[in-house]
A = this chain, B = another copy of it.
Amino acid sequence: MTLDKRTHDRTFVRTFFTTPTAEKGVEDSAKKLRSAIELRGMQAPDVWVPDNEDATAPNMRDEGAENIAEVVAESGADFPGEIHPRVVWHRDSPETRYQGFQHMLEIADPENGAIEHIDGFVIPEVGDIDDWKKADEFITIVENEYGLEEGSIAMSVIIESGSAELAMGKLREEMGKADNNLERLFLLVDGEVDYTKDMRAITPTGGLPEWKELRHNTSRAASAAGLISVDGPYDDIRDVEGYHDRITANNAMGMLGIWSLTPGQVVEANKSPLPPATGYWLIDADGREVELESEDGVEVYSGDRIELEEEDGGYELEVGSTEIFCESEEELADELLDLVDYVPSMDDIVDSMEEFEAAKEAGKGAIAMTRAATIEIDGVQVDVSSDRMWDEATYQALMTPVKLFQDVYENRPDQHDDLADLYSEDVVERAIEVGN
């Protein structure tokens, strides 16, 4: 990233990856920074955050600020994502805020040669909107001091207090005001550990609460103010499945970005919001979603939570402990239709988009999209088929993953090969065209 391509370049951010800025007692205290800035492809995040706050020991942070400047000056030009260092800040401590200001002055000093590759700063522990404005003002001074355009340095905040959560409801009113440059706002990032402390929540095991309302409110604020929402760190880096499930749940709330603590998490978070390469069917097996296995065009359920057999000229379907007798294959198909659902591939999605666009050009406002399959349970095969009405609103709502893909494709050339491997060149080409 270079100066002319900085703030608000991305409209989607999948990954927010933090790296300690300085370590004591090692030969090169900036070693981890050097290693992170070399990441490419799926291992490289959309937003990289040299973290001069929690990830770095308090007495190493002055050195950390220098390390950021040095490493970004050296290698920032080639880094494929955006670079947003996190500095120290606290709504309750003027001392900490002044320290954060000094670190920003240090990192952005043009003499260090880093600022042209830096896209913005991340401000943690903000409070009410007036506290956000203090950080905004410091960044304005930094810009003015170094001859940068006002508003050109982005500002992201970590939401880790009840007051910051409430502040997000005021962004639309505050962002246009003459006395601030809050238009520089970029990411709203939840920080659940400190939020838990601020809310004084207690769980028996010490595990983090869900904080679903916080995530909704963050996503909503991002939507209302034209920003991007990002979920906080997922501590159990061993638990890939749990991380993936969290991303899926976040995506259903419109929160498409997540914090990553390791390059492994970055890979997972870069890929999770994109549609799969191959579509598949799901079945609701007595309250648990199970993926059907596709065998020669037949979708097979092989668990034991659902049982099916032909009996007395009809079908006996047992889901968990509920038995349903179906008199005909049609009735059985109706029952199964309530249980199954299809996860479309990127290819499927592009097909549907193209089909709807063609219909629109032919003057139709709504068309039925059909999805059919042969389902097999306990050796019995049933054909099911469902129609879904698509209108302009459906089309627009289902366009989100495609737009995300297009944003990735445009901004992350280093991931082109990975995307082509995943989807095939042909699908990639159609996906970048559709809707434009």
Q: Which residues of A contact B (CB under 8 A)?
A: 24, 54, 56-59, 128, 161-163, 165-166, 169, 172, 193-194, 196-207, 209-210, 212-213, 216-217, 219-224, 235, 239, 248, 251-254, 256, 273, 276, 282, 303-305, 321, 338, 341-344, 363-365, 388-389, 391-394, 396-401, 403-404
Contact = CB atoms under 8 A, between A and B. Distances in A.
A400 B193 CA distance: 12
Contacts of A194: 393, 396-397
8 contacts: A57-B364, A57-B365, A161-B223, A161-B224, A197-B397, A204-B343, A205-B342, A235-B389
A393 B54 contact: yes
B203 A365 contact: no
A169 B172 contact: no
A162 B224 contact: yes
Contacts of A203: 251-252
Contact of A253 (B193, B199, B223, B364): B199
B343 A252 contact: no
Contacts of A198: 223
A203 to B, nearest CB: 5
This protein's copies in its complex:
3
A239 B337 CA distance: 10
Nearest to A209: B252
A166 B172 contact: yes
Contacts of A363: 24, 57, 59
Nearest to A401: B202
B166 A201 contact: no
Nearest to A343: B204
Contact of A254 (B128, B199, B217): B199
Nearest to A251: B202
Contacts of A256: 200, 202
Contacts of A344: 205-206
A222 to B, nearest CB: 8
A400 B172 contact: no
Given A209-B252, A224-B162, A248-B204, A391 B54 contact: yes
A212 B163 CA distance: 19
Contact of A400 (B162, B200, B235): B200
